Amino acid sequence: MVVPESQEKMYYPPVELQRNAHVPDLNSYLVMYKKSLENPEAFWREVADEFFWKKPATGPMLQHNFDMTKGNIFVNCMEGAKTNMCYNVLDRHVKEGKLGEKVAYYWEGNSPDHHMTITYRQLLSHVCRCANVLKQMGVKRGDRVSIYLPMIPELIITMLACARIGAVHSIVFAGFSSESLCERIMDAQSSVLVTADGVYRGEKLINLKQISDEALEKCREKGSSGVTTCLVIKHQAQRTRTGTSCNKLKTPWDSERDVWWDEVMRDSPDECEPEWMDAEDPLFILYTSGSTGKPKGAVHTVAGYLLYTSLTFRYVFDHHPDDVYWCTADIGWITGHSYITYGPLANGATGVLFEGLPVHPHVGRFWEIIEKYKVTKFYTAPTAIRLLMKYGQEPLRKYDLSSLRILGTVGEPINPEAWRWYHEVVGQGRCPVVDTFWQTETGGHVLTPLPAATPLKPGSATFPFFGVEPAILNEHGEELEGVAEGYLVFRKPWPGIMRTIYKNQERFENTYFKKFPGFYVTGDGCRRDKDGYYWITGRIDDMLNVSGHLMSTAEVEAALMLHHSVSEAAVVSRPHKVKGECLYCFVTLKDSKEFNCKLVEDLKRLVREKIGPIATPDFIQNAPALPKTRSGKIMRRILRQIARNEKDLGDLSTLADPKVVEVLLNQRSEAAA
């Protein structure tokens, strides 16, 4: 790694930020990074010393094997240690740090009229009561609890209640369909489902309880009856009373299974002894899309995840006690787990928890909230930035954004134009932008600037975080030095990396370690420039990144194939000005079936129902045949080029029937019109 050449256009950290920063300059970063690689034992032990351990570690800080030829893949952190995540993120602050009256979260609802404040002491009390409720329902250490909730305080309360009693939470994004929820409940073998009556997303009322009931019915039809209790929060009926609109919501009820949250919480004791967990016990399962179509349950464990989310939050956002931090993600994704819940709470931070949308009820909602709570650190997705760019600077001028100190981006690579708008318009040219690269699997940031230390290049994730050792490989597994482009891999683990795929170690090893023995394979392409900066170039495998959410082509293709008219389907990505990427689908119809507008709408609806609104295709094109090799493999590279209207399709010699391409090109304009 080298210091950037001075003649290149760079964005340097503000001097006033460097004065009190945890990592105040590039040299400090380089010294700390070197230590984290050369002496990881000392580096991570120093981090661990900040937390409470019921029993200290008897083994080394990190042990691992990334080479399948040498045995099973594994990562161990702090073997022999015992602790509790909930104790470290709540009790430690309330009982030892005297932060009981500090605000943990400002909750801001879908409507600006709905808001509340919750302190660390109040949060601890609610968590203990919820933990006792779960115990009364028979939930014990190691049991799985599925959570299907909007962005409300009860979501965090339930997560932490699970962590307190040693149960494993499995959160499902509340925009997913009943089919997706069913699949995740069944895979996790959950005994309890926590949901709400409903939620407004913008102007749209979503009946979460009805979707939950449909999911549980699907589970029964598939032979699973694991969920014995459904705990239901009266969110729409109580907290957000909006007159007659509440009457639209009919909450289905099964008196033998369903329980109202407020009724069981009312008399539940507000003290609950933590369950002391082994360092490598699972903390949660979070499902991420797999290239085969079946979601993968990424398992994260107690000690390593605590260390890593805490440290990345503190250094990447340069957190200080008087900060007000706002991450706009949903807790249904890993960003919300790591950087709304666990990382901030481990640092005693004050955060904003936002239920709504960036353009509801007006396009200045984000800026209004920043002004209202005097947000100092703001973390959002490039998709949101590009969406708000469309409305220009006028909406921002109405609000005071002078409290902002650091801006962050997450979920997908950010294009330089959006980066500069974010830096110059939102940050008024004085706030560093931390463009963070990481994954559900990594648990926390792995490539990221540090705001007071790293000179920035718009669109680059810059350098590795402490303890992270990236490499770039070519197709043959040879490591590339200097300026290079290829597969992004990591040589060694860090404490927060996932440990396995739930109930499927074989898939875990084959997905992440088989292609290049000795390395964790991200599935992303990457280039390194002459200054050692890393630039993410996008997915190499059959995955799509739509609005920062990863989904598999196979999953969407499987949904399309459920339609009785479709014999074959292929899905690729196409650039989108707001979402980054969007879905472009090719469908081959069965004999005598007609391709028309009604079919297109039916197919879009089918994908929405099976996966969720987030996966709705933007384009569906009739494909009398798909371009295939003589062995029958679909040439997705060619389909991507057709979707993007690229004229030079490269080498077509391996195609069984090159004429197929000409037909698809001629029909493309209709689909994309």
Residues 166, 75 within the same domain: no
Residue ranges of alpha helices (H) inside 40-147 are: 40-48, 85-86, 120-136
**Which CATH number characterizes residue 590's domain?**
3.30.300.30
Q: Kindly state whether residue 371 falls inside one of the protein's structural domains.
A: no
Residue 8 has pLDDT above 80, yes or no: no
Single residue among 338, 357, 376 that ends a domain in this structure: 357
Task: Please classify residue 266 by burial: count the beta carbons closer than 10 Å to its beta carbon, then call 0-12 exposed, 13-18 middle and 19+ buried.
Answer: exposed
In a domain, 2, yes or no: no
Q: What's the mean pLDDT in 512-530?
A: 96
CA 513 to CA 211: how far, in whole Å? 37
Q: In sequence order, which ranges of 254-364 are alpha helices (DSSP H)? A: 261-266, 302-316, 334-336, 343-346
Whether residue 361 is preceded by a cis peptide bond, meaning omega within 30 degrees of 0, is yes
> d(Cα 595, Cα 12) in Å, to the nearest integer?
55
Interval 486-508: pLDDT, tens: 999 999 999 999 999 999 999 99
Q: With a cut of 60, say whether residue 240 has pLDDT above it.
A: no
The predicted-structure confidence for 185-205, as pLDDT tens digits, reads as follows 999 999 999 999 999 999 999
Phi-psi region of 551 (alpha: psi -120 to 50; beta: other; left: phi over 0): beta
Q: Work out the mean pLDDT of the chain and round it to a whole number.
A: 93
Domain CATH code at residue 281 = 3.40.50.12780
170 vs 615 pLDDT, higher one: 170
| Residue with tokens 């539940």, as numbered in its chain | 268
Give the pLDDT of residue 177: 92
The 10 Å Cβ neighbour count of residue 204 is 11
**Phi and psi at residue 107, to the nearest 5°:** -90, 130
User: What is residue 245's predicted lDDT score, i.e. its pLDDT?
Assistant: 43
Residues 329 and 477 in one domain: no
Distance, in Å, from the CA atom of 493 to the CA atom of 469, rounded to the nearest integer, reads 8
What token pair was written down for 159? 């997560």
Q: DSSP code of 462?
A: B
Question: Residue 353 is inside which H or E element, if any?
Answer: strand 350-354
Unique residue bearing structure tokens 């956002």: 317
Q: For the stretch 620-653, what's the b/e string if a residue is b when 16 or more beta carbons lie within 10 angstroms of its beta carbon?
A: bbbbeebbbeeeeebbbebbebbbeeeeebeeee
Least confident of 48-62, 255-269, 464-478, 527-541: 527-541
**Same-domain pairing of 653 and 629:** yes
Give the CA angle between residues 27, 29, 30 to the nearest 5°: 65
Instruction: Specify the higher pLDDT residue, 108 or 574.
Output: 108
Q: How many CB atoms lie within 10 A of CB 353?
A: 24
C-alpha 168/C-alpha 158 separation (Å) is 11
Distance CA 148, CA 171 (A): 6
Amino acid symbol at 467: G
**Same-domain status, 25 and 114:** no
Q: Tell me what pLDDT residue 654 has.
A: 62
Domain match, 113 and 33 both: no
Six token digits for residue 506: 């074989």
Residue 10 lies in a domain: no
Residue 486's nearest CA partner among 497, 503, 468, 473 is 473
Angle at 284 between CA 277 and CA 519, to 5 degrees: 100
Range of the domain at 313: 84-357
183 shares its domain with 40: no
- Please indicate, yes or no, if residue 623 is contained in any of the structural domains: yes
Q: Taking the mean position of all CA atoms in its chain, how far away is CA 459?
A: 19
**Count of domains forming the chain:** 3
Is 471 within 8 Å of 490 (Cβ atoms)?
A: yes
444 and 523 co-located in one domain: yes
Calculate what percentage of the chain has a pLDDT beyond 90: 80
**What confidence score (pLDDT) does residue 628 get?**
83
Single out the residue in 511, 539, 567 at which a domain terminates. 539
Per-residue pLDDT averaged across 80-96, rounded? 98
Phi/psi class of residue 38: alpha, beta or left (left: φ > 0; alpha: ψ in -120 to 50)?
A: alpha
Task: Check whether residue 529 and residue 570 sit in a common domain.
Answer: no
43: in domain: yes
Instruction: Flag whether pLDDT at 567 surpasses 90.
Output: no
The amino acid sitting at 84 is N
Answer with the one of 313, 329, 357 that is the final residue of a domain: 357
Give per-residue pLDDT as tens, 575-634.
Answer: 998 888 899 999 999 878 999 999 999 999 999 998 899 899 999 999 999 998 665 668
Residues ≥6 apart with Cβ < 8 Å to 111: 200, 240, 242, 356, 361
Residue 415 lies in a domain: no
For residue 549, give the DSSP letter. Answer: E
pLDDT in tens, 261-291: 999 999 999 999 999 999 999 999 999 876 5
Q: Is there a single domain that holds both residue 263 and residue 167?
A: yes
**Token digits of residue 458:** 């718009």
Tokens at residue 670, please? 């209709």
Q: 670 in helix, strand or coil?
A: helix
What local confidence, expressed as pLDDT, does residue 658 receive? 84
Angle of CA points 373, 149, 165, to nearest 5°:
95
Q: Does residue 401 fall inside a structural domain?
A: no
Instruction: Give the span between the Cα atoms of 636 and 655, in whole angstroms.
Output: 12
Q: What percent of the chain has pLDDT over 70?
A: 95
Domain of 25, CATH number, reads 2.30.38.10
Whether residue 178 sits in one domain with residue 56: no
pLDDT digits (tens, 9 = 90+) for 116-162: 999 999 999 999 999 999 999 999 999 999 999 999 999 999 999 99
Same domain? For 563 and 531 the reply is no
Q: Assess whether 325 and 193 both reside in one domain.
A: yes
Residue 369 lies in a domain: no
Give buried/exposed letters for 407-433 (b at 16+ CB in 10 A, else e): bbbbbbbbbeebbbbbbebbbeeebbb
CB 345 within 8 A of CB 331: no
Whether 572 has a pLDDT exceeding 60, the answer reads yes
* DSSP string computed for 303-314: HHHHHHHHHHHH
Q: List, for residues 363-387, the tens digit of each pLDDT value.
A: 999 999 999 999 999 999 998 998 8
457-474: per-residue pLDDT in tens?
A: 999 999 999 999 999 999
Tell me the pairing of strands 543-546 and 534-539.
Answer: unpaired
